[in-house]
Amino acid sequence: MPTQPDSQAVKDYLMDLQERITDALRATDGGAGFRQDSWERPGGGGGRTRIMQDGMVFERCGINFSHVHGDQLPASASAQRPELAGRSFEAMGVSLVAHPQNPYVPSSHLNVRFFIASKDGADPVWWFGGGFDLTPYYGFEEDVLHWHRNAREACAPFGADLYPRFKAWCDQYFYLKHRDEPRGVGGLFFDDFAEGGFDQAFAFLRSVGDHYLTGYLPIVNRRWAKTYGDRERAFQKYRRGRYVEFNLVFDRGTLFGLQSGGRTESILMSMPPEVSWRYDYHPEPGTPEAALYERFLVVRDWLGEEEGAAST
């Protein structure tokens, strides 16, 4: 008999994950603490939002736990699975976005989530989704290689095919079609994941969630004290505009939250606090800003290139 989905076990894990990440990022910042807002959704459920602003390391860092339920899935969810229209649903997850002060430290994003849709007389339909990705403003190959090695390690116990599959899905998903460029250097993205049954799929979700800090914190600690000036700060603000464009135009989590009546402040906590747009901007050739476009904002097999170079 397959294991039945255990929503309470998932909720307990997600709340603990939020707690552990909060503690780690607070310690890393060493300055500002997190403000917490607990909230309720009129249609059912609620959550707790934790946000740090104007810290020593992080200009804004938001970690949101939400657990919402209702009688009918919102359009953003049922559009992907039209057979679920009319079912009641339960959705829970942890989402995180970190926007550091220093332009040499990349922004990062984590999301892990669980959906279950129910209907009288029918088996529940459930799945996990999520992943993590990295958005640098100035590129460092050692940082990107570390990030992708860590992503591969998260997937390794569950099959050698998962990392290349979910790395490619991440590259495809976090792509700004109207700009014809990736949002960053990728990571992992998966959705509608139920492979191996509930216990196996839940274990994979936990591995992804638990690998976020081991991927991100070494990069933060390596870069946060690096000296920068107005030029680097201006470029960071310009590139942050791409983050805003993606979240408001393409991001499924943002659309689901808004369409399901979630708390707007919590949904939009992912926005960077200071952003700029320039008309028809192109960096000067040969500059570090140009290198970001040429070497990092391109889809690459980072680990394959590294291993190929090592074998020659």
Q: What is the pLDDT of residue 298?
A: 95
Whichever domain contains 270, its CATH number is: 3.40.1500.10
Q: For the ranges 151-165, 226-240, 244-258, 286-300, which has the lowest average pLDDT?
A: 244-258
Q: Is residue 101 part of a domain?
A: yes
Q: What is the pLDDT of residue 1?
A: 45
Backbone dihedral region of 193: left (phi > 0), alpha (psi from -120 to 50 degrees) or beta? beta
Task: Flag whether pLDDT at 74 surpasses 70.
Answer: no
Q: For the ranges 84-88, 240-244, 248-252, which has the lowest average pLDDT?
A: 84-88
Task: Flag whether pLDDT at 226 surpasses 50.
Answer: yes
Q: What is the pLDDT of residue 3?
A: 72
Residues classed as catalytic: 109
Q: What is the pTM of this model?
A: 0.92
Look up the domain containing 87 and give its range: 7-310
- Taking only the tens place, the pLDDT of each residue in 93-106 is 999 999 999 999 99
Dihedral, CA of residue 147, residue 149, residue 155 and residue 156, to nearest 10? -170
Q: Is residue 251 part of a domain?
A: yes
- Taking only the tens place, the pLDDT of each residue in 127-168 is 999 999 999 999 999 999 999 999 999 999 999 999 999 999
Q: Is residue 1 part of a domain?
A: no
Task: Flag whether pLDDT at 125 surpasses 50.
Answer: yes
Q: Is residue 166 part of a domain?
A: yes
Token duo for residue 293:
């476009």
Task: Flag whether pLDDT at 268 surpasses 50.
Answer: yes
Annotated binding site for substrate: 95, 111-113, 261-263
- Percentage of the chain lying above the pLDDT 90 cut: 72
Task: Flag whether pLDDT at 244 surpasses 90.
Answer: yes
Task: Flag whether pLDDT at 76 surpasses 70.
Answer: no
Q: What is the pLDDT of residue 117?
A: 86
Q: Is residue 2 part of a domain?
A: no
Q: Is residue 37 part of a domain?
A: yes
- Taking only the tens place, the pLDDT of each residue in 162-202 is 999 999 999 999 999 999 999 999 999 999 999 999 999 99
Q: Is residue 145 part of a domain?
A: yes
Task: Flag whether pLDDT at 77 surpasses 80.
Answer: no
Task: Report the mean per-residue pLDDT for the chain.
Answer: 91
Q: Is residue 107 part of a domain?
A: yes
How many domains does the chain contain in total? Answer: 1
- Taking only the tens place, the pLDDT of each residue in 8-33 is 999 999 999 999 999 999 999 987 78
- Percentage of the chain lying above the pLDDT 70 cut: 95
- Taking only the tens place, the pLDDT of each residue in 52-66 is 999 999 999 999 999
